[in-house]
Structure 1
Amino acid sequence: MVDRGSWVTDWQSSPRWWSARRCGFVAVPLSNRVTWPREAGSDVDLDAVDTSLVRALQADGRASFETLAGVVGLSRVATSNRVQRLLDSGAIRVAAVVHPAARGLSTLGHLAIDVSADAAKVAATIAAKPEMPLVSIVAGRHAVIAEVRTEDMGHLRATVTEVRELPEVHTVTTAVYTRGVKDVYAPGQGRAPAAAVPQPTELDPIDQGLVSLLQHDGRSSYAELGRAVSISPSSARARVRALLDAGVVHIAAMIRPGMLGLSSMCGFGLTLDTGPGITDRIAEHPEVYYLTETIGTWDALGTVLCSSSETVSVTLDQIRNIPGVVHLEAWMHLHVVREDYSLPALSGGDTEGEGTR
């Protein structure tokens, strides 16, 4: 539900890849599609402790209850109960997200699509394309927005052409991501270090199985993970740590905004002056939970997540008033048709492992 290349630029060092973005979302292989629980409860009232827990789990979805207890100043049991309440309510889920660079996806873009009729049909057609992890119907100058992830500019151009050739599509406007500035799902609530950017990586069947399981439940124990792929808990731990340390995957809490009282989500595109640090100042606003610099239609794209349309309006005005912001265009998300950043299911082979050590 977020609006987000490199030309082998430094988008890969940005946090954007962590996103498995924030909307309504075993055995191996696991389905590509990640979904929220069907029976989710009503809005969850968060106090300061719950908010701190959510933030800590966004930074490290596998943080131990002891570590989390130290963050919030409660006992381990009380902390465990709070985390379980958040998980059971459907307000958050913890899952692994695979870095696109590890999958050879080095060029990301944002498509703003005008249609002649039936935006829902266009969105559904686009959402069926594997290159499109995010597709949303929006209110604004355009009817549908989408994120596209491809190997290079040639593949991006071909994908955009396919969208343009759909009968109901009138125009497609494209912006290519160049530098990620902010993503609340990145470690430390901000920037991922360049050193953490992985090279394209071929995962063996065991690692693929572990990643698939962690996409389903990022807090699965090493015993559960090891049992599922026929290796020892210690081997499972070593493999998961290697994937995390190499930057191939990140495990984080993903929030369901509406259940946390954050019901208004608005994307925006910016035309900026040439001064330094403009996007960094925009990123300081707490309501801005995603921001990336781009080349194309806009100089930057972002998303604000707020409790009401009034708060959205105030936040957008605050962004407009930042020195260096020349123009702001906004759109409200009406219906997210697809939001899926999972690793494709295993296509073959088995997960016969190393045995118990």
Structure 2
Amino acid sequence: MDDFDEDLIRALQLDGRAQFSTLAAELGLHRTVVAQRVSALLESGEIRIRAAVHPRAVGLPVQVNLQLRISGPTTPVFEQLLELPNVVFLSETSGFSQAVVEVWAANLDDVGRSVRAIQAIEGVLETQLAIYDRVLHRLRLGEPPASADLVFDDFDIALMSLLQIDGRLTFGELARRTGRSASACRARVMRLLKSRVMRIGAVRSRRSVTSSILSGVGIMLTGAEADRGSVESMLLSIPVIDFAARTLGRYGMIATVPARSMADFTEIARMIRAHPSVHLVETWVHAFVWLERYEWDLERLLSRQRTGGAALG
């Protein structure tokens, strides 16, 4: 993919509902060109534009990263990992480990069940676990919800369910499908976005031939605890960073960094290694992303509604 497509996808990752005229002005191109490229990217399956509901809002506040060493054929292992309900990200990697798995869970007991299920899969030799102590940046989700005690009314749930399938549905189409007015749909969607319950953006398939490199970075720290803040600031200053978190486990921090070439990624890795509070950096390449999802079925959202609390509406 050329630089234009990369810039366009990045803009859609940040705002999947951005108007073509807005994207054209940002990228310095004609609106028609932008509209054609967005349509082509959607039709090819290179991107999907969907609403991502924050894990805290659906009762999954605990997130963990697992790196797996696999013996023998990997495909049967990945096929079984895809069946686990709490797996939200699954990638085949190059390097010491053969897989990276991200699990969202209700609590540590829930994490334990997921980890044991993964360890029981034939071919999984070793699991290395890191708990996200604090997520510093997640491109698809943004900041955590403004309130920790959120539940949804039926209108919220209907809108989120539709936008999880197609994040660019017009307010008129949302109105037709929900039986509400377009203005009511617009007001409620804006409220959900403002409250940070959900964010709408592009998700890349990362299965097609592309020059883009998606890499993981595990950072071991040294020095005083106060130095951690400067490492965090350094990570967050990387314009292309997709994800960064403080972790408990082998690494003090984990990050996901897309780059337009291996040379670009190497420069980023060198910058991280050069920080005086960084003791060791381990990297891996996400060679094939099997799964990246942020959507949850209606029953999951309804189960949160039954827990009580004040609805957004």
TM range (shorter): 0.7 to 0.9
* Structure 2 contact 52–141 (Cα < 8 Å) conserved: no
How far residue 157 of structure 1 moved from its aligned partner, in angstroms, is 2.1
Kindly report which structure 2 residues correspond to 1:35-184, keeping only aligned pairs within 5 A, or say none.
43=1, 45-47=2-4, 53-72=8-27, 80-81=35-36, 83-184=38-139
Q: Per the alignment, do residues 186 and 249 of structure 1 end up closer, same or farther by CA in structure 2, a change over 3 Å counting?
A: closer
Distance 1:198 1:139 in 2: 39
Alpha-carbon distance in 2 for matches of 1:313, 1:46 = 19
Distance in 2 (alpha carbons) for counterparts of 1:339 and 1:55: 16
In 2, Cα distance between equivalents of 1:315 and 1:113: 25
Are positions 1:299 and 2:248 aligned together? no
Residue 100 of structure 1 deviates from its aligned partner by 0.5
Shift in Å, 1:56:
3.9
Question: Structure 1 pair 65/260, CA: closer, same or farther in 2 (3 Å)?
Answer: farther
In the alignment, is the contact (CA less than 8 A) between 1:120 and 1:137 conserved in 2? no
Q: In the alignment, which residue of structure 1 is the partner of 2:203?
A: 254
Q: Kindly provide the amino acid, as one letter, of the partner of residue 178 in structure 1.
A: D
Aligned to 1:288: 241
CA contact (8 A) 1:262 1:305 kept: no
Aligned to 2:308: none
Closer/same/farther in 2, CA of residues 221 and 151 from structure 1, 3 Å limit = same
Shift of 1:272: 1.0
- The number of residues matched between the two structures is 298
TM-score after normalising by structure 2: 0.82
Match of 2:168 among 219, 222, 238: 219
Deviation of 1:283 after TM superposition, in Å, equals 3.0
Which residue number corresponds to residue 244 of structure 1?
Answer: 193
- Give the 3 Å change call, closer, same or farther, for CA 267–340 of structure 1 in structure 2: same
Among 262, 273, 276, the alignment partner of 1:323 is 276
Instruction: Output the CA distance in 2 between the equivalents of 1:260 and 1:166.
Output: 30
What is the Cα deviation at residue 346 of structure 1? 5.1
TM-score, normalised via structure 1 length: 0.73
- C-alpha deviations, 1:21-52, integer Å up to 9, x for none? xxxxxxxxxxxxxxxxxxxxxx4x343xx666
**Preserved contact between residue 24 and residue 34 of structure 2 (Cα < 8 Å):** yes
Distance in 2 between residues matched to 1:305 and 1:218, nearest whole Å: 23
2:160 matches 1:207: no
**C-alpha distance in 2, partners of 1:169/1:328?**
24
**Bigger CA drift: 74-83 or 228-237?**
74-83
Q: Please say if residues 99 and 198 of structure 1, whose CA atoms lie closer than 8 Å, have aligned partners that are also in contact.
A: no
**Cα offset, 1:281, TM superposition:** 0.7
Q: Matched residue of 1:277: which SS?
A: helix
- Secondary structure at the counterpart of residue 56 of structure 2: helix
The alignment's C-alpha RMSD in Å is 2.9
Unaligned runs of 5+ in 1: 1-42, 350-357
Contact 1:209/1:229 (<8 A) preserved: yes
State the distance in 2 between where 1:309 and 1:264 align: 7
Pair 348,135 (structure 1): closer, same or farther in 2 beyond 3 Å: closer
> What SS does the aligned partner of 1:97 have?
strand
Deviation at 1:167, TM superposition (A): 3.6
SS in structure 2 opposite 1:102? coil
3-state secondary structure, aligned to 2:242: strand
Is this contact kept in 2: 1:164–1:171, CA < 8 A?
yes
Rounded Cα–Cα distance in structure 2 between residues aligned with 1:146 and 1:318: 26
Alpha-carbon spacing, 1:164–1:83, altered in 2? closer, same or farther (3 Å): closer
Task: Provide the secondary structure at the position in 2 that maps to 1:103.
Answer: coil
SS at match of 1:101: coil
User: Partners in 1 of 2:45 and 2:283 — Cα distance?
Assistant: 29
The equivalent of 2:290 in structure 1 is 337
SS at 1:170 equivalent:
strand
Structure 1 residue 60, shift from structure 2 partner: 2.5
Question: CA separation of 1:46/1:313 partners in 2, compared to 1, >3 Å: closer, same or farther?
Answer: closer
> How far apart are residue 295 of structure 1 and its match?
0.8
Give the aligned partner of residue 5 of structure 1.
none
